[in-house]
Amino acid sequence: MAGSLQTGIRLYRSKRWEMALKELLQVDTTTFDAEDNAELAYYLGLCYTKLEQFDNALLYLEQVVTGGSDPLRAYQCRMTLAYIYSVTGRSKLAEFELKHLLEKGFESVQIYAAMAYAAYSQKRYDDAIELYQKALELERDNPTALNGLGYILADTEKDVRKGLSLCKKAVEKKPQNPAYMDSLGWAYFKNGEILEARTWIRRALDLLPRHPEIIAHMRTVLGAD
């Protein structure tokens, strides 16, 4: 039985990714026009992204970017493409997508923060700091930018005290975020406060027990006696 595009969309919006994907893959596109096909490709790309099947996601998201007529949807797809490229270690491709958005006039905290992360991944620390600062100029209490800037300042020891302060603010904004907890713990470690470092990194590890960077931080901190 053929699936329904609208049913697939409803399943996606209710966060039932696998069911949504199954439904969308069965959609009969015989009578679809270009807009319908773009919408189907968009949601297939998002489903594959949520399921971390990134190669499949790229195929569909690129279809929307190259063939779609909806600028907002193209923006969302390029942001998702940048995310995929970042988490799969292709930082330069992530930057390409994000710079394209800036050139089109889409300036946002999310774009600057994502570009900062891509720069950091390439060890371009000064560029990353500048980009996170631009993000905070747009939204001074944005937790992603606070955490990112704080972590870099502490990790590179460019300004450990300020880094610690920014990481504290990020955790205050999002107290259950394990990535922010880890950053705060690492900033404490860089500031020489080992007990506090262990406490916060342990909290992060309890929530993300298999995260390689948090595990590495904990090993370093445990060996700091």
Position 1 scores a pLDDT of 41
CB 202 within 8 A of CB 218: yes
208: tokens are 């993300």
Q: pTM higher than 0.75 for the full model?
A: yes
Residue spans per domain, the chain: 5-165
The CATH superfamily assigned to 5-165 is Tetratricopeptide repeat domain (1.25.40.10)
Q: What is the pLDDT of residue 72?
A: 85
pLDDT at 71: 83
* pLDDT of 123: 92
- For residue 195 the two structure tokens come to 């007990």
- The reported pLDDT for the residue numbered 104 is 85
87-107: buried (b, 16+ CB within 10 Å) or exposed (e) per residue?
eeebbebbbebbebbeeeebe
Digit-by-digit pLDDT tens for the chain (225 residues) are 456 899 999 999 999 999 999 999 999 999 998 888 989 999 999 999 999 999 999 999 999 988 766 888 888 999 999 999 988 989 999 999 999 898 888 889 999 999 999 999 899 999 999 999 999 999 999 999 999 999 999 999 999 999 999 999 999 999 999 999 999 999 999 999 999 999 999 999 999 999 999 999 999 999 865
Q: What letter represents residue 97's amino acid?
A: E
3-state class (DSSP) for residue 3 = strand
pLDDT at 125: 96
Concatenate the DSSP letters of all residues of 165-192 into one string. Answer: HHHHHHHHHSTT-HHHHHHHHHHHHHTT
The distance between the two most distant Cα atoms of the chain, rounded to a whole number of Å, is: 68
Q: State the pLDDT at residue 2.
A: 52
Q: Chain centroid to CA 149: how far? A: 15
- In angstroms, the CA 104 to CA 13 distance is 28
